[in-house]
Structure 1
């Protein structure tokens, strides 16, 4: 399993001057923690930096960077997604974020396509999950882009849909109910 973990934690994609990498050593922990402390991250708050560093090391993280100057090779950290996973059968997607100054350029979709590429490369994955309270933007986004289904313990009423926590799930290749899309 160590080789598959290493393989997944050292992937990268480029799109013009943008880079997505699963290498956690590239993630500026103080910047990420500042994002956690911001009002943009309604689902989390900052944690001690050492704890955040350990959290990142134990997760499959996708950092998004913009190369601001060709000569200096300095990169701006501008997006993030984290998967809590055993690297074999289960993924819980969380902490998806693109800086507001970079939104509206299709970068969030690209980030999710990179996550989906990794998910689809896992032959024994049973399911991927995510939770959100953003019914207007996030539920349609993840349903359309990642092919996730909305899970509910009871059918919604007209009054209850769009309230509370939405749980989305997609079956993986290791699930007996998996169907190729």
Structure 2
């Protein structure tokens, strides 16, 4: 079956996205309001199969210097069908992102997917810093 990938925020199913994220290891406990706010401030990609949303990703970016890819997922029952690769292809080839110089993401278990799209471990991790507010 063929999927559709859209950046139209008006058709995103925010409840669906929230329900998935709140069960994920990286967004456990995120409120629906926080999910809505994050969508409003990012370039978002909805993944649809026969009109029903089955996946999502968002890119926080200034469209020139930096882009941070987050909340990438395909629901469990639709995995293994190549949909995540199609989603990543759509993101990396999106016309608005072609001038972004540095792309970042964090993953616990999907290194194999992201390396296919040019991502690699940070070359000089000691140069990077973070601040986590729990």
- TM normalised by structure 1 equals 0.63
Deviation at residue 100 of structure 1 after TM alignment? 1.1
User: Does residue 37 of the first structure (1) align with residue 22 of the second (2)?
Assistant: yes
Query: More helix by proportion, 1 or 2?
Result: 2
* Superposition RMSD in Å: 1.9
| The one of 66, 70, 82 aligned to 1:94 | 70
1:19 corresponds to: 4
> C-alpha separation between the residues in 2 aligned to 1:121 and 1:31?
26
Deviation at residue 122 of structure 1 after TM alignment? 2.2
Task: Quickly say closer, same or farther: Cα 1:45–1:121, change in 2 above 3 A.
Answer: closer
1:1-181 map, 5 Å? 17-38=2-23, 41-67=24-50, 75-118=51-94, 121-123=97-99, 125-134=100-109, 138-143=110-115, 145-153=116-124
Query: Quick check: which has more Rg, 1 or 2?
Result: 1
Q: Which runs of 5+ in 2 are unaligned?
A: 126-134
The higher relative CO (CA closer than 8 Å, separation ≥ 6) is in 2
> C-alpha separation between the residues in 2 aligned to 1:22 and 1:88?
19
- TM normalised by structure 2 equals 0.83
Deviation at residue 30 of structure 1 after TM alignment? 1.1
